[in-house]
Structure 1
């Protein structure tokens, strides 16, 4: 998940958990083109950020070996570059889905929906592609549990329930 990719990078940088909001704040005054990180692009609409996390770690290790103060000197630029790389992957997939399915409405939810870079890009995409964009207020972006809870509430009202024997699968195909 992209939130976990933000958190891993923050940990590597010595930033507090959760790392996404910290990286986002630092990225706002950094140069998104300062560093290049590999973009993990799997086929279709699926995401994988493991290659990007590895690219982040190895690039940073190389730079720190050359200059031990690299992170301290360039923290905002590092954060902006990594955030930009993660958002590039998200938006490549989103734009593909918009094109392939004729999507006209886009909503985001979960913790990463608070990310200022994501919100700005989504608003711009809406303008460019004539999409209706739904952004939750910031107070509803901090915890995915709120979104899951409200979905469960509406399913219960509609008497749409699942048996207790249901199980989760991380490998389910969509």
Structure 2
């Protein structure tokens, strides 16, 4: 039995809200808990991509600094994502979904390429998961809201000529 499109739309929007909030949580962790040891397992994977032994202390400190800077940037991105999901949901705007799609399509190939060249397989897995869990719902919402908008479009003056 097919799921009604309104129910599916609500579920996909809820999923995107959750994804944006997870991005926000992860970004806060990257910014503020790097020195606490929470990132050690991940950092060990990164270490093996760039160092044959443990990295020098200065390199690790710089790495944690980059994580903090990246986390702060990701916090901002997370808020933009939350805002676009809210706009897309409230206004049923395909444009909001389109901008989110464009951002992901711009980000993913670059991030995946850099991860591949550094042989950071965990990053490729994370990127692949993000693509598979974000793009299909966004594309569906874009198409659904575009169809709904075009069926509700009032005739223009050109239609009366």
Q: TM-score, normalised by structure 2?
A: 0.28
Which one has the largest radius of gyration?
Answer: 2
- Determine which structure has greater relative contact order: mean sequence separation of CA pairs < 8 Å that are 6+ residues apart, divided by chain length: 2
Q: TM-score, normalised by structure 1?
A: 0.27
